[in-house]
Structure 1
Amino acid sequence: MAACPAGADREALREAAITAYLPVARRIARRYGSPDRSREDLQQVACLGLVKAVDRYDPGLGHAFLSYAVPTIDGELKRYLRDFSWQVHVPRRLQDKHRLVRLAQEELNRSGHTDGGTVRDIQRLTGIDEQDVRLALRADQARNPLSVDEQRGTGKGFTLAETVGGDDPRLELVTDLVALKTLVAELPARERAILKLYFVDSLTQRQVADIVGISQMHVSRLLDRSRAFLRRGLLGG
Structure 2
Amino acid sequence: MSAPTDQVDLALAVPDVDPMYRPTPQELRTMGKTEARGLSDALFRRLAGLEPGTRTYSYVRGTIIELNMPLVRFVAGRFRHRSEELEDILQVGTVGLIKAVDGYDLDRDVEFVTYAIPTISGEIKRFFRDTSWPVRVPRSVQELYLLVARASDRLEQDLGRLPTTVELAEELDLSEEQAAAGLRAGRMYRADSLDALRDRDADEPGGALLDRIGSCDPRLELVDLREAVRPLLGKLPERERRVLLLRFWGHQTQSQIASRIGVSQMHVSRILSATLTWLREEADADVDADCDGDGDD
Normalising by the smaller structure, the TM-score range is: 0.5 to 0.7
Contact 1:33–1:106 (8 Å) recurs in 2: no
Relative distance call for 1:97 and 1:30 in structure 2 (3 A) is farther
Is 1:94 paired with 2:141?
Answer: yes
CA deviations 1:146-201 (Å, max 9, x no partner) are 9833562349x953218833553644x64466357546765752345532222211
Question: Which of 135, 147, 165 does residue 119 from structure 1 map onto?
Answer: 165
64-73 or 201-210: bigger deviation: 64-73
Instruction: Choose 1 or 2 for highest CA Rg.
Output: 2
Report the counterpart of residue 222 of structure 1 in structure 2: 271
Relative distance call for 1:205 and 1:119 in structure 2 (3 A) is closer
Question: Which of 43, 49, 53 does residue 90 from structure 2 map onto?
Answer: 43
Give the secondary-structure state (helix, strand or coil) at the position aligned to 1:19: helix
TM-score w.r.t. the length of structure 1 is 0.65
Contact 1:198–1:208 (8 Å) recurs in 2: no
Contact 2:148–2:183 (8 Å) recurs in 1: yes
174-183 or 121-130: bigger deviation: 174-183
Could you say which structure has the greater relative contact order, defined with CA pairs below 8 angstroms and 6 or more residues apart? 1
Relative distance call for 1:103 and 1:169 in structure 2 (3 A) is closer
1:1-237, aligned counterparts within 5 Å? 3-32=50-79, 34-35=81-82, 38-54=85-101, 57=103, 72-86=119-133, 91-109=138-156, 112-143=158-189, 145=192, 148-149=196-197, 152-154=200-202, 158-161=205-208, 164-165=211-212, 168=215, 170-171=217-218, 174-175=220-221, 178-179=224-225, 182=228, 188-190=235-237, 191-203=240-252, 204-206=256-258, 209=261, 218-228=267-277
Contact 1:88–1:142 (8 Å) recurs in 2: yes
84-93 or 99-108: bigger deviation: 84-93
Q: CA–CA distance in 2 between the matches of 1:162 and 1:116?
A: 24
Contact 1:49–1:72 (8 Å) recurs in 2: yes
Contact 2:52–2:58 (8 Å) recurs in 1: no
Q: CA–CA distance in 1 between the matches of 2:220 and 2:83?
A: 47
Contact 2:51–2:57 (8 Å) recurs in 1: yes
Amino acid at match of 1:197: L
Contact 2:198–2:209 (8 Å) recurs in 1: no
Structure 1 gap segments, 5+ residues each: none
CA deviations 1:63-120 (Å, max 9, x no partner) are 979698666534432232224444565554333222212222343355x322254433
Structure 2 gap segments, 5+ residues each: 1-46, 285-297
TM-score w.r.t. the length of structure 2 is 0.55
Relative distance call for 1:151 and 1:99 in structure 2 (3 A) is closer
In the TM superposition, what is the alpha-carbon distance from 1:217 to its structure 2 partner?
A: 5.5
Q: CA–CA distance in 1 between the matches of 2:264 and 2:215?
A: 41
In the TM superposition, what is the alpha-carbon distance from 1:12 to its structure 2 partner?
A: 1.2
95-104 or 4-13: bigger deviation: 4-13
Q: CA–CA distance in 2 between the matches of 1:183 and 1:9?
A: 86
Give the secondary-structure state (helix, strand or coil) at the position aligned to 1:148: coil
112-121 or 194-203: bigger deviation: 112-121
Amino acid at match of 2:63: A
Relative distance call for 1:129 and 1:169 in structure 2 (3 A) is closer
